Amino acid sequence: MAIVTRAEGRAYLTPLVGFLLLFLGFPALVNLVYSVSTVGFQNLRSPELSGFGNYLAVVQDRTFWQATFFSFRFGMVTAVAECLIGLFLAIFLAPLLAKRSVLMAPLMLPLMVAPAMIGLMYRLVLHEFAGPVPYYLFLWFGDSPAFLDVNNAFKTLVVVETLQWTPFAFLLFYVAYSAIPLDVREAASLDGASAWRILWWIDLPLMMPTLVIAFFIRFIDGFRVFDNVYALTGSGAGGSTTSLSIYIYQAFFKDGSIGKAVAASVVLFIASLAVLYGLNWLAGRRRKAA
């Protein structure tokens, strides 16, 4: 077996490091400069350094905190819903899928559609005046809720997001559940353990790393949601469905406050980095304790 020297290792890593510096490092540096500058589309090539005023404007903006709260609540609720439903489906459908694996294909269909197209589709289907769902609810029951108004928009968005991305969690959980050795379950069953005890004391602990990873991925994806929310409700009445991504988009393209938008992006990046560091620290402590 050939041994790679330190010099050879550096030579192998040089193209990758150069690529990252060029395509990630340079834009990040430009964004940091923009975040401490007075900059708009008029002076995009020659920003004027102005200190940390953009960061101060962001943290003093009530809309920013409303968008942060919406993104956090949306990410948390959708991640919990998708993981719970995905876990139930993975365990419930495992015997059927073991015999009819071809059924996995239709279960994955929602993942094949772009989120923006999902948003447009449900916007047409649930439209208060033209949508078929409100029409038939009026026809059958004499009344229909306004699915996209300020009172129901959050619930509607959660349902739409959950319907599209539950198959992702289901796929991860099904693979993790199928990877558990059968002899472990059989041994527990021979010892008199019920199906519920096997699930609680064997299956779930062995699937826990996958559960945590799936929840974290879906929370991050829900926290930074943009396309389907923007296509379905936009920023909503009174900004009720303004996520952080939509807030940054509006500050950048609609208001022309490029410095403020970039500052908000940097704040979001630092917050995400802090969360990742905290999770890494907790995982390290858990490994040491084990």
Predicted confidence at residue 74, as pLDDT, reads 94
Predicted confidence at residue 163, as pLDDT, reads 92
Handedness of CA 47, 49, 55, 57 (dihedral sign): negative
pTM, entire model: 0.85
Predicted confidence at residue 165, as pLDDT, reads 94
Predicted confidence at residue 268, as pLDDT, reads 82
Cβ 22 vs Cβ 14: under 8 Å? no
Predicted confidence at residue 152, as pLDDT, reads 86
**Residues 41-64: tens digit of each pLDDT:** 787 777 888 888 888 989 899 999
Single-letter amino acid, residue 239: G
Predicted confidence at residue 285, as pLDDT, reads 74
**Residues 133-181: tens digit of each pLDDT:** 888 888 898 888 888 888 888 999 999 999 999 999 999 999 999 988 8
pLDDT under 70: residue ranges of the chain: 1-4, 237, 283, 286-287, 289-290
Predicted confidence at residue 286, as pLDDT, reads 67
Predicted confidence at residue 3, as pLDDT, reads 64
For residue 49, the cross-strand partners are 37
Determine if residue 41 is left, alpha or beta; phi over 0 gives left, psi from -120 to 50 gives alpha, anything else beta: alpha
Question: Taking Cα atoms as reference points, which of 161, 150, 122, 159 lies closest to residue 242?
Answer: 150
CA atoms within 13 A on the CB side of 221: 20
**Token code pair at residue 144:** 């229909």
Predicted confidence at residue 80, as pLDDT, reads 95
How does the average pLDDT of the chain come out, rounded?
85
